[in-house]
Structure 1
Amino acid sequence: MNTEVIFYPVLAQVFLVIFLFMLLGKRKLNAAKNKSVDLKQAAVNNKAWPSDVVLVSNNIANQFEIPVLFYVLSLVTYMTNSVSFITVTFAWLFVAARYCHAFVHVTNNRVPIRFRCFLVSVLMVILMLVTTSIHIIV
């Protein structure tokens, strides 16, 4: 298997983060245009923004938690030549779950659905960790 394929889901995850930053900028611009935010307060307190802005901002913060483990694990998998169909499948499922999590978070923010997406992403990282660890140890 071409080991570089582990980076396709990584790039898809990075694209998600870039998209979220663009969405954040758009929502902040709209809030400023509509005068629905006190910009002096928003400069020192993220919670001063309208809830649609805060949701995106919170989701961006989430993209630097479990996904950081995914990035590191993807590199370890590549560097140890542990890339397999199974690890790449887990990586894509992780990214799909993160897209689902982000979509729910920045739209209707239904916490039970968002939490299920989060759990799937964590499970995929755990499965990637286990399969990569087995490959390295055995």
Structure 2
Amino acid sequence: MGILLLMARERVPRVMRGEIPMASIAVERDAYPLKARLLSNNFDNQFQLPVLFYVGALLAILFQPGWPEVVLAWLFVATRYVHAYIHVTHNRVGKRFMAYAAGLAVLALFWLWLILRLLILAPSI
């Protein structure tokens, strides 16, 4: 929601003042300044890995999460905040990729643990 609000603050006033004609943003976002495009790209990015996280988190909640799921979930959330911060500030691609890769690794561990717990360890837990 924070990224969405920042994006609105960057985009809406420019359109309302007539700086950016509606026709120039009807299909592409290129008419927006760099900051607005970065926020928009980051907002779009929040519908990639996080969707896998949401499904896993709901599954974990359904089966009462243990401490490994909780720790991995918070680590994933932290990596997303770091990624978003890098994306909408200095946008150094190398650092942004490292934050993304860290989030992906944590998410993979989250899912591996969840699958292990539910399919293999479930009878013994």
Please list every run of 5 or more consecutive structure 2 residues that lacks an aligned counterpart in the other structure.
none
- Cα distance per residue 1:34-59 (max 9 Å; x no partner): 75533320122122211111111110
Residues 107 and 31 of structure 1, relative CA distance in 2, 3 Å threshold: farther
Quick check: 1:65 aligned with 2:48? Answer: yes
- Listed as ranges, the matches of 1:66-105 within 5 Å are 66-81=49-64, 83-105=65-87
Quick check: 1:106 aligned with 2:85? Answer: no
- Listed as ranges, the matches of 1:11-30 within 5 Å are 18-30=1-13
With 23-32 and 90-99 compared, the bigger mean Cα shift is at 23-32
Partners of 1:97 and 1:117 within 8 A in 2: yes
- Cα distance per residue 1:13-35 (max 9 Å; x no partner): xxxxx111100000013433675
- Point out which structure has higher relative CO (alpha carbons under 8 A, 6+ apart): 1
Amino acid at match of 1:129: W
Question: Which residue is equivalent to 1:7?
Answer: none
Across the aligned residues of Structure 1 and Structure 2, the Cα RMSD in angstroms comes to 1.5
**Secondary structure of 1:46 counterpart:** coil
Quick one: percent identity of the two aligned structures? 33
Quick check: 1:129 aligned with 2:122? Answer: no
Distance 2:10 2:105 in 1: 32
Residues 36 and 52 of structure 1, relative CA distance in 2, 3 Å threshold: farther
TM-score, length of structure 1 as denominator length:
0.80
Amino acid at match of 2:25: A
Distance 1:93 1:46 in 2: 32
TM-score, length of structure 2 as denominator length:
0.88
Give runs of ≥4 in structure 1 deviating > 6 Å: none
Please list every run of 5 or more consecutive structure 1 residues that lacks an aligned counterpart in the other structure.
1-17
Residues 47 and 20 of structure 1, relative CA distance in 2, 3 Å threshold: same
- Listed as ranges, the matches of 1:28-47 within 5 Å are 28-32=11-15, 36-47=19-30
Please tell me whether Structure 1 or Structure 2 has the larger radius of gyration of its CA atoms: 2
